[in-house]
């Protein structure tokens, strides 16, 4: 259905689905997970968008948004992390909203009225092709979430760990495969697994993209991003994170899962890219200054956050949930 649904109706449908969820294949699914998974967009028209558009991220985003028009959300930002050199940030800018800030609204009724930030991990797509167990990749992602959770300025922020999914998580993954993989469900912040499906669809096979975060924001009846708390930033619906499984992933050495998860989770918690990229004369290697988790490119194992990362997090979350 492409007809615009009023927000209230979408919310009621969400509750209805949550109440009627069948119990098949949900042995590992906690009640909390089920309660926080939003199914209101499961009836959108599905187009298969896997054309391998290479670097043409903006036109790929336009195709994604065409396919979900009328759903009340829009893919607003794609932030990707480079294995060598710089990643980038691409805004969906067909209405001149380039560089639009974006954050969650505390108590947003469209996200169920919660003031915590729920997160889930894909329990089916670890970096197993690199020889890691699901438990190892999942543990590294959990470590990254704990690192952000331990920042002391944001004591009002509760990161609600919903657990790992017993099904293939991933909203964008579902969009690019026509529903064959992933799932048309979402919660606030999703680590949607290691695969090549999503990164290949946008950046093409063999890209240098290690990880990517998709930010979906709510739009109004005119198709414009909403700002119901009047803070000058678009209201985030959810964020969906992927890891490119064509790389060799490791624990504590290159390419380190926790380091990349820490960066992507930073996007999940509303931080943008930071720092300037330099190439040194001698060895041609890339460097960032100042070095930070939120640099746009991977420069080695980095599992503690830097001063600029901390400052960015505090500006976003220091007043939460009162902003
Ligand atoms: Zn990034």
pLDDT cut 70: percent of the chain above it:
80
**Which of 99, 121, 216 is CA-nearest to residue 170?**
121
Cα 283 from chain centroid (whole Å): 34
Least confident of 232-236, 260-264, 283-287, 315-319: 283-287
pLDDT band at 276 (very low <50, low <70, confident <90, very high): confident
Beta bridge partners of 102: 234
3-state secondary structure of 137: helix
35-168-249 Cα angle (round to 5): 120
Position with higher pLDDT, 29 vs 129? 129
Cα separation, 211 vs 131, whole angstroms: 19
The predicted pLDDT at position 34 comes to 63
Structure tokens at 80: 């990707």
CA of 273 to the centre of ligand 1 (A): 6
Tokens 């939460």 correspond to 320
Domains detected in the chain: 7-317 (3.40.390.10)
Position with higher pLDDT, 112 vs 96? 112
CA of 82 to the centre of ligand 1 (A): 8
Cα separation, 193 vs 91, whole angstroms: 23
The predicted pLDDT at position 9 comes to 36
Maximum average pLDDT range among 70-74, 282-286, 299-303: 299-303
Cα radius of gyration (the chain): 18
Structure tokens at 213: 């975060």
Over residues 56-93, the pLDDT tens digits come to 888 889 889 988 888 899 999 999 999 877 788 888 87
Q: Which residues contact 85 (CB under 8 A, 6 or more apart)?
A: 208, 277, 286, 297
Structure tokens at 123: 């329990």
CA of 219 to the centre of ligand 1 (A): 24
CA of 79 to the centre of ligand 1 (A): 5
The predicted pLDDT at position 195 comes to 97
């Amino acid at each position: 259905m492409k007809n615009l649904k009023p927000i209230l109706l979408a919310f009621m449908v969400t509750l209805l689905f949550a109440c009627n969820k069948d119990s098949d294949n949900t042995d590992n699914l906690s009640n909390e997970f089920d309660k926080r998974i939003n199914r209101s967009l499961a009836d959108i028209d599905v187009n298969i968008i896997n054309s391998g558009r290479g670097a043409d991220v903006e036109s790929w985003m336009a195709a994604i948004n065409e396919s979900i028009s009328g759903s009340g959300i829009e893919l607003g930002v794609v932030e990707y992390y480079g294995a060598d050199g710089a990643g980038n940030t691409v805004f969906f800018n067909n209405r001149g909203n380039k560089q639009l800030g974006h954050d969650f609204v505390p108590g947003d009724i469209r996200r169920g009225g919660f003031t915590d930030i729920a997160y889930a991990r894909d329990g089916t797509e670890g970096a197993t092709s690199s020889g890691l167990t699901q438990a190892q990749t999942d543990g590294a992602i959990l470590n990254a979430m704990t690192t952000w959770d331990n920042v002391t300025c944001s004591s009002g922020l509760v990161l609600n760990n919903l657990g790992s999914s017993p099904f293939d998580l991933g909203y964008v993954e579902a969009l690019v495969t026509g529903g064959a993989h992933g799932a048309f469900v979402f919660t606030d912040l999703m680590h949607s697994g290691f695969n090549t499906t999503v990164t290949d669809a946008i950046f093409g096979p063999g890209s240098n993209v290690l990880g990517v975060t998709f930010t979906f924001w709510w739009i109004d009846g005119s198709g414009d991003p909403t700002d119901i708390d009047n803070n000058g930033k678009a209201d985030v619906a959810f964020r969906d994170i992927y890891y490119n499984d064509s790389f060799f992933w490791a624990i504590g050495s290159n390419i380190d899962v926790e380091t990349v998860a820490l960066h992507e989770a930073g996007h999940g918690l509303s931080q943008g890219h930071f720092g300037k990229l330099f190439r040194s004369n001698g060895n041609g290697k890339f460097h960032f200054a100042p070095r930070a988790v939120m640099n746009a490119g991977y420069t080695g194992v980095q599992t503690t956050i830097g001063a600029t990362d901390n400052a960015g997090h505090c500006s976003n979350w220091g007043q939460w949930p009162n902003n």
